[in-house]
């Protein structure tokens, strides 16, 4: 799978750790984040990842900022994106199984690298269950179209 990754200046170190982890699982990574330590604007990178996923250039995306919130809000503004902020693996897993999330977000100032790996692994390994959940995801997408 091809995974687009984006980050702001607060998350360079964690992005690099997760990039290596994702690649070790056999996935290709598109690095759309910053590697500059000076302050930058997280919406730029959330949008880049969202557009890469929405266009099909990437299969899924991972975005990281200080809390995961701001960058996920930016990604969610891209039509077709369902970004979720996760601080533990259970929510990450269910976000894929029930909500068909296509962008994972977490905060470099909120969780450590080992927790980030567990969250990422749970999210990447989970699959959308469809069924009753598909109807609900379609309802979410209809809101976006209105």
The set of long-range contacts for 136-143, using a CB threshold of 8 Å and a minimum separation of 24, is 136/98, 136/99, 137/82, 137/99, 137/100, 140/82, 140/99, 141/80
Which one from 27, 40, 98, 133 is the annotated catalytic residue? 98
Catalytic-residue membership of 9: no
User: Residue 48 belongs to a domain with what CATH number?
Assistant: 3.40.1400.10
Identify the burial level of 54 via C-beta atoms within 10 angstroms of its C-beta, where 0-12 means exposed, 13-18 middle and 19 or more buried: middle
Which one from 9, 65, 84, 86 is the annotated catalytic residue? 65
- At 7 the pLDDT is 98
- At 91 the pLDDT is 98
The rounded percent of the chain whose pLDDT value lies above 70 is 100
Number of domains in the chain: 1
User: In terms of residue numbers, what domain contains 11?
Assistant: 2-145
- At 131 the pLDDT is 93
- What's the pLDDT band for 61 if we cut at 50, 70, 90? very high
Identify the burial level of 112 via C-beta atoms within 10 angstroms of its C-beta, where 0-12 means exposed, 13-18 middle and 19 or more buried: exposed
Its pTM surpasses 0.95: yes
- At 115 the pLDDT is 98
Catalytic-residue membership of 27: no
């Amino acid at each position: 799978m091809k995974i687009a990754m984006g980050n702001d200046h607060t998350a360079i170190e964690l992005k690099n750790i997760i990039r290596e982890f994702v690649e070790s699982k056999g996935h290709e990574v598109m690095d759309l984040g910053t590697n500059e330590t000076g302050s930058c604007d997280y919406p730029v990178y959330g949008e880049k990842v969202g557009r890469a996923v929405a266009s099909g250039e990437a299969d899924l995306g991972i975005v990281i900022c200080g809390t995961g919130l701001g960058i996920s809000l930016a990604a969610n503004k891209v039509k077709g994106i369902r970004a979720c902020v996760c601080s533990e693996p259970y929510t990450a897993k269910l976000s894929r199984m029930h909500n068909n999330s296509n962008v994972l977000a977490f905060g470099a100032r909120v969780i450590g690298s080992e927790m980030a790996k567990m969250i990422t692994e749970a999210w990447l390994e989970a699959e959308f269950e469809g069924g009753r959940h598909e109807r609900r995801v379609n309802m979410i997408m209809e809101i976006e179209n209105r």
